[in-house]
Chains A and B, each alone.
Chain A
Amino acid sequence: MEQMDWKILKEIAELEKTPQGAYNFRVNGALDARQVTANIDITSKTDKPGIDITVKPGTKGESVHIPVVLSQTGLTDVVYNDFYIGENADVDIVAGCGIHNTGCETSQHDGIHVFHVGKNARVRYVERHYGEGPGTGENILNPRTEVYLEEGASITMEMTQIRGVDSTVRDTVVEVAAGGECIINEKLMTDGTQTAESNVEIILKGAGATGRVISRSVGRGESVQVFRPCMTGQADCFGHVQCDSILMDQAKIKSIPAIDAQSVDAQLIHEAAIGRIAGDQILKLLTLGLTEEEAEEKILEGFLN
């Protein structure tokens, strides 16, 4: 792997060397490096691009890194990754895609991830999207994530896209069985003429299922964002959708949270707020000796921390 690819790996997965545990590095549409462990197997699909990741039941405290790097301009990469998490397993999965585009052609990565999480298993999923490069070509990322949680299973998803992605349409669908829990922490910042659209659907299917969506975003420049988080309750369950956005410059943000109760016992709440940085926050930081620019950056950094 080249030095540039490592730089991008650091941005998306905080990796400076090959990690402990299982990993699969995909660079410019092809396998670059892979390691499996006694409990985590990774195999390439034979019918389409992508991998199957199988975690044995009861596996505890292991991690899987599956970053994708695109440093060749004009490449469109579509991958299908399926995760099979065994019962009672407890694992961290670090995904993410970084694009370094030096040319004038569009670089695009569409990752389609499907998680099958067995009974009482726990997954922490971290996904970072990042783009850079001096080229004029667009960086496009269109991820689709489907999660099927069995009884008592849980997933925490941290999905972050802070800079350099010109266009993104993100679809996330999660089905939660009885006693299961899904927490989605989404962080997004767009600038310039970037566009981002995020559609999240959580379906709470069984008794005691819990769902939370905490979405924070910042729109700068002339960028445009659209959020459509939807929480559906089909049983005695609890769901909470919270969308907060800071609007700057000439950016536009549309937030359309929805709650859909299909059972009399479903408790569903949604909150959404969009606004500029509060003036008194800036003033407070000025009185600590920061300039207005520094104050804004610190406020945004905290908001998206």
Chain B
Amino acid sequence: MLEIRHLRYDVTAENGGTMDILRDVSLTVEPGKLVVITGPNGGGKTTLAKTIMGLNQPTGGSIRWNGQDITSLSITDRAKAGVSYGFQQPPRFKGLKVESLLALAAGKEALSPGEGCQYLTQVGLCADDYIHREVDSSLSGGELKRIEIATILARRAGLMIFDEPEAGIDLWSFAKLTETFERIHKTGEATLLIISHQERIIQLADQIAVIEAGKVTHWGSREEIFPKIMARTIPGCGYMKGGEA
């Protein structure tokens, strides 16, 4: 179970003032659930994901994973405790091969051909074409993103956080990806936290959290929250309507 309590993350702005990126975020995700975090750009979704992984150190609040307080653990220790995070914009590595990166993710010296094939197929890539490729600028953004997601599948951590996994991915691979999320969810092998704006991914959620301006503004079951999100996507500008949107 993931328990986030009163999480805060502030940074010092250029003018010397404080910017509150996360303001008192609390969330509880039950084991094996699939939670989608959505909301407008700049609302704090990625910051929240990074803070759970330890890439940002919160300025207040706590994060517990399976009963253990991980708030002050290093990134490495959180990873070992079972937290994983697929980057929104994954880095490229000159010379490092896809097979090596996946083996590192799986915590093994080397992957069997079957394992390599399994992880890449789940993100819509053919192992034959990709396993010996380098994770460098020869890969397109979409290919890199799918390999990033494959590293999280290879890790098999108890908590999988995906940050806009659909970004830059073609329709066919996206269909494969949603199948993969659905399968993980069904087997209950991991708790899934997915930042997404895609209706097809939102439709997979048990619960939805909407994060805006550093706060959870809506939280509840998909059935309850999804219609509210859809209502807000109806064209029209709140400013012209006198701020009623």
Contact = CB atoms under 8 A, between A and B. Distances in A.
B238 to A, nearest CB: 36
Interface stretch (A121-129, A261-269, A288-296): A288-296
Interface string B158-175: 000000000000000000
A302 B93 contact: yes
Contacts of B91: 278, 280-281, 283-284
Given A284-B90, A285-B104, A288-B105, A216 B75 contact: no
A303 B84 contact: no
Interface of A: 216, 244, 278, 280-281, 283-292, 298-299, 302-305
Interface string B190-203: 00000000000000
Contacts of A299: 93, 96
Interface string B66-85: 00000000111001100011
26 contacts: A216-B94, A280-B91, A281-B93, A283-B55, A283-B75, A283-B91, A285-B104, A286-B76, A287-B75, A287-B79, A287-B84, A288-B104, A288-B105, A288-B107, A288-B151, A289-B76, A289-B80, A290-B76, A298-B96, A299-B93, A303-B94, A303-B96, A304-B95, A305-B96, A305-B97, A305-B100
Q: Is the interface of B mostly helix, strand, loop or mixed?
A: mixed
Contacts of A281: 91, 93
Interface size class of chain B, counting residues whose CB lies under 8 Å from the partner chain: 20 to 34
Interface of B: 53, 55, 74-76, 79-80, 84-85, 87, 90-91, 93-97, 100, 104-105, 107, 134, 151, 155
A291 B85 CA distance: 16
A291 B79 CA distance: 10
B239 to A, nearest CB: 37
Nearest to B78: A287
A149 to B, nearest CB: 27
B1 to A, nearest CB: 21
Q: Is the interface of A mostly helix, strand, loop or mixed?
A: helix
B100 A302 contact: yes
Contacts of B155: 288-289
Given A284-B87, A303-B94, 7 more contacts: A216-B95, A280-B87, A286-B79, A290-B104, A298-B104, A304-B95, A305-B100
B79 A288 contact: yes
Contacts of B96: 298-299, 302-303, 305
Given A287-B79, A287-B85, A288-B155, A302 B95 contact: yes
Contacts of A305: 95-97, 100
A182 B47 CA distance: 49
A302 B79 contact: no
